[in-house]
Amino acid sequence: MALSKKPTTGMKDILPEEMQIRDYVMSVIRETYGKFGFTSIETPCVENIANLSSKQGGDNEKLIFKILKRGEKLNVEAATTEAEVVDSGLRYDLTVPLVRFYSNNAAQLPSPFKALQMGNVWRADRPQRGRYRQFMQCDIDILGEPSNLAEIELILATTTTLTKLGFRNFQIRINDRRILKAMAAYAGFAENAYDSVFITLDKMDKIGMDGVKEELLANGYSGEQCDRYLELFAAIGKESDAVAYLREKLGDYLDAEVMDSFQEIMESVRATKADSFELVFDPTLVRGMSYYTGTIFEIAMPEFGGSCGGGGRYDKMVGKFTGNDVPACGFSIGFERIVLLLMESGFKVPARPKQVAYLIERGVNGKELCDIIAKAQDARKEGTQVLVARMNKNKKFQKEQLNKEGYEEFVEFYKNPLKN
């Protein structure tokens, strides 16, 4: 049987045209985040299965690519539970590995620690536009900073990067898990019902307010609870200052310091007067990860019609590794979706060096070939990108393909000097 030429479902080959854009985006990310004081780290793609299955990753924990034990440790025939044959898995995000990394290396790191991490992650998800089973994530995180300076820096670093990549008119939607909980408490939902209520609320943009009410009622909540809850959202939509409205309406259900900090984040970001994006308070924003403890945010781009990144505060996660909580907050850019949008818009990498292709007729060897190679080296020293290749029989097609890769100038070398 012939071997398959196609990648595994949900994964893809990356052709040179896309790779150029990906390399460019990564370079802009590194340069911009570097100016905000973030330093690069790297973690293994394989993590202990107990870390990945610690009930912090939400639905992603259902999508883990699990790895069997190796060698003598693997005894499938005698196993009665999964734990007997599985001890690790491919990471589904970069946050769990980062927290493990920090917990293991905190003594050697500055405080606060500003981390930049880019790398592939894997989820056994259903592939669709902009969603793959293997994909690049790009995260920035600040660990050890308890104040809202962390949120402000993360939002500004992310929006500056997206602006440098040419994006305009996008939104940073922002909310706080503590506001979500206070609204649920005000409506009369029990604390152990919050996660269920939030799962339904998260569908607001798809099923609308009526759909949310219908689902909450179907889940056994009372009409009085549902009405009191949804009346908050209806009123917020009519208020010019939704934060101030909630501060007054929720009263003792929410600590005033939470609203003060939230307001300060929004005012500080808006004070930069950036015109490429809009910061929007969205009380329906939930974010699926159960490890979020405070502020949460998400990138919304009209070109994509969905989320192109997000993040939030997760102050309790380090403590699960060390026993001592450390304040932490992070923001992840949807790298694959950013690249997809750039490619669909016909984006060309700017300020590339001059690209010249030396096409050498087959049969040109010896001293002539040495002279051509030396000439190419001289051009490279002057900053020109030079491709040296043998000339194909179908020279026209060869040039067309090279032209797609950015080569606009061709120098041909023939065995017969009169052709040169």
Over pLDDT 70: what percentage of the chain? 95
Q: Torsions phi, psi of 39, nearest 5?
A: -115, 145
CB crowding 136-161: b at 16 or more within 10 Å, else e: bbbbbbbbbbeebebbbbbbbbbbbb
Return d(Cα 339, Cα 319) in angstroms, integer. Answer: 35
Q: 């939230």: which residue's tokens?
A: 262
If phi > 0 it is left, if psi is from -120 to 50 it is alpha, else beta; for residue 130 that is left
- Return the residue matching tokens 């408490």: 185
What DSSP element (H or E) covers 277? strand 277-281
* Lowest mean pLDDT across 115-119, 143-147, 305-309: 305-309
pLDDT at residue number 127: 82
Q: What is the pLDDT of residue 420?
A: 62
C-alpha angle 124-10-50 in degrees, rounded to nearest 5: 25
pLDDT at 83 over 80: no
For residue 193, CA distances in Å to 56, 60, 213, 231, 297 come to: 17, 21, 15, 19, 23
pLDDT by residue (tens digit) across 25-59?
A: 999 999 999 999 999 999 999 999 999 988 776 67
Q: What is the pLDDT of residue 164?
A: 93
State residue 77's pLDDT score.
61
DSSP string, 158-174: HHHHHHHTT--SEEEEE
Structure tokens at 95: 């946050």
Residue 241 binned pLDDT confidence (cut-offs 50, 70, 90): confident
Q: What share of the chain is helix, strand, coil (3-state, %, to 5)?
A: 45, 20, 35
Confidence of residue 197 (pLDDT cuts 50, 70, 90): very high
Cβ distance 94 to 139 under 8 Å? Answer: yes
**Best-predicted range by mean pLDDT (65-74, 81-90, 161-170):** 161-170
Cα separation, 121 vs 90, whole angstroms: 7
Q: Which domains does the chain have, with CATH numbers?
A: 10-169+302-350 (3.30.930.10), 179-276 (no CATH), 355-419 (3.40.50)
**Computed from CA positions of residues 13, 14, 16, 18, in that sequence, does the dihedral angle turn out positive or negative?**
positive
Residue 45: DSSP 8-state:
S
Specify the amino acid at residue 331. F
pLDDT single digits (tens) 319-367: 999 999 999 999 999 999 999 999 999 998 887 778 999 999 888 888 8
User: If residue 331 lies in a helix (H) or strand (E), which one and from where to where?
Assistant: strand 328-333
- b/e per residue 36-49 (b: at least 16 CB within 10 A): bebeebebeebbeb
Q: What burial letters (b/e) apply to 179-189, b meaning 16+ CB within 10 Å?
A: bbbbbbbbbeb
Name the average pLDDT for the chain.
Answer: 89
Checking if the pLDDT of 242 tops 80, the result is yes
